[in-house]
Amino acid sequence: MSLPTNVILQNITEAILEAAQVAGAFLLQSQKEIASIEVQIKSLNQLVSEIDINAEKRIVQILKGKFPEAGFLTEEGTTIQQKAELCFIIDPLDGTTNYLHNLPIYCVSIAATFNDVLIAGVVYAPASQEMFHAMKGNGAFLNHQPITVSQSRNLNESLLATGFPYYAFEEMDAYIASLEYFMQNTRGLRRMGSAAIDLAYTACGRFCGFFELNINTWDVAAGILLVQEAGGKVSTFNDQGSAMSGKQIIASNPAINTELKRVLVNNFYL
């Protein structure tokens, strides 16, 4: 299977970068407007939902204008989910609860696949003005500077990230057992509230590893490519199925991958 040439890949990546920048600027401006008015939390939730949808529409409009033949997989479903060789996977606002509470840890996440192979990804955190991007076979970058995963050699030297379950609690005992182990055998655990940012931070070495359950493809697609192109490993806990599904994901530098995976397998499968 042939993938797009580097010229085409560059064009796709530049389009994603542009779309993320536009959506990020819209999110920043909208957050200022939210802060300037007093509304009840129910109304605020509705307002943020509308912001989510409008950010997605801006992304889709830009990408459809440049690649009219492309398909889309989007969180808000603002466009027909057509099947095509080139497909864009879009989360216009990952970290909605943080955004709702005026925490600056949220992002725009956009990935591109070609015949289901990840070829480009962008995670843009507008509050910090950090633009992460990756192209298949061409590396990963933060504000256009190359990045790599951390150099930690074992869990004892590692800072990990995770996401707490928020609607599916069937595996809570295994999850709590994993947290207990990592609390005692790492430098610490962090819960940022955005899987896309967790993966971007893993790609640039701020986190040494990340794991989570029951999230969505649009939350992780761009971040998966970031970690892989930065020299890291991404899989499910037991290497069965695809991390793109969001059912399970583990991402880390190569040195701690086996140890991290062993803990999760022991708690979730044995």
Domain assignments of the chain as residue spans, ordered by start: 6-146, 155-269
Inform me whether the pLDDT recorded for 204 exceeds 80. yes
**CATH 3.30.540.10, domain 6-146, yes or no:** yes
* Short-list 100, 96, 145, 137, CA closest to 119: 137
Average pLDDT of the chain is 92
Work out the average pLDDT over 100-129. Answer: 96
Work out the average pLDDT over 189-213. Answer: 97
Say if CB 48 and CB 30 are below 8 A apart.
no
Pick from 79-88, 177-186, 196-205: least confident: 79-88
The reply to whether domains 6-146 and 155-269 share a CATH topology is no
CA 150 to chain centre: 18
pLDDT in tens, 237-257: 999 999 999 789 999 999 999
Say if CB 175 and CB 183 are below 8 A apart.
no
Architecture of domain 155-269: 3-Layer(aba) Sandwich (3.40)
CA 224 to chain centre: 7
Inform me whether the pLDDT recorded for 193 exceeds 80. yes
Residue 35: per-residue pLDDT:
65
Inform me whether the pLDDT recorded for 59 exceeds 70. yes
Rounded Cα–Cα distance for residues 123 and 132 (Å)? 5
Residue 232: per-residue pLDDT:
98
Rounded Cα–Cα distance for residues 145 and 141 (Å)? 5
Residue 240: per-residue pLDDT:
93
Task: Place 53 in a pLDDT band, splitting at 50, 70 and 90.
Answer: very high
Residue 110: per-residue pLDDT:
98
pTM of the model: 0.94
Rounded Cα–Cα distance for residues 25 and 92 (Å)? 12
Task: Place 43 in a pLDDT band, splitting at 50, 70 and 90.
Answer: low
Residue 61: per-residue pLDDT:
97
Pick from 30-34, 89-93, 111-115: least confident: 30-34
Pick from 79-88, 231-240, 245-254: least confident: 79-88
Beta strand 145-146 with 139-142: parallel, antiparallel or unpaired? antiparallel
Say if CB 58 and CB 41 are below 8 A apart.
no
Residues of the chain above pLDDT 90, percent: 79
Work out the average pLDDT over 83-88. Answer: 92
Residue 168: per-residue pLDDT:
62
Burial class for 175, CB neighbours closer than 10 Å (0-12, 13-18, 19+)? buried
Pick from 23-37, 197-211, 238-252: least confident: 23-37
3-state helix, strand, coil in the chain (%, to 5): 45, 25, 35
Work out the average pLDDT over 207-219. Answer: 95
pLDDT in tens, 130-164: 999 999 999 999 999 999 999 999 999 999 999 98
Inform me whether the pLDDT recorded for 270 exceeds 70. no
Q: 189-193 contacts: CB < 8 A, separation 24 or more?
A: 189/159, 189/160, 189/161, 189/162, 190/159, 190/160, 190/161, 190/162, 191/161, 191/162, 191/163, 191/164, 192/95, 192/98, 192/105, 192/161, 192/163, 193/95, 193/97, 193/98, 193/103, 193/105, 193/106, 193/163
Residue 17: per-residue pLDDT:
98
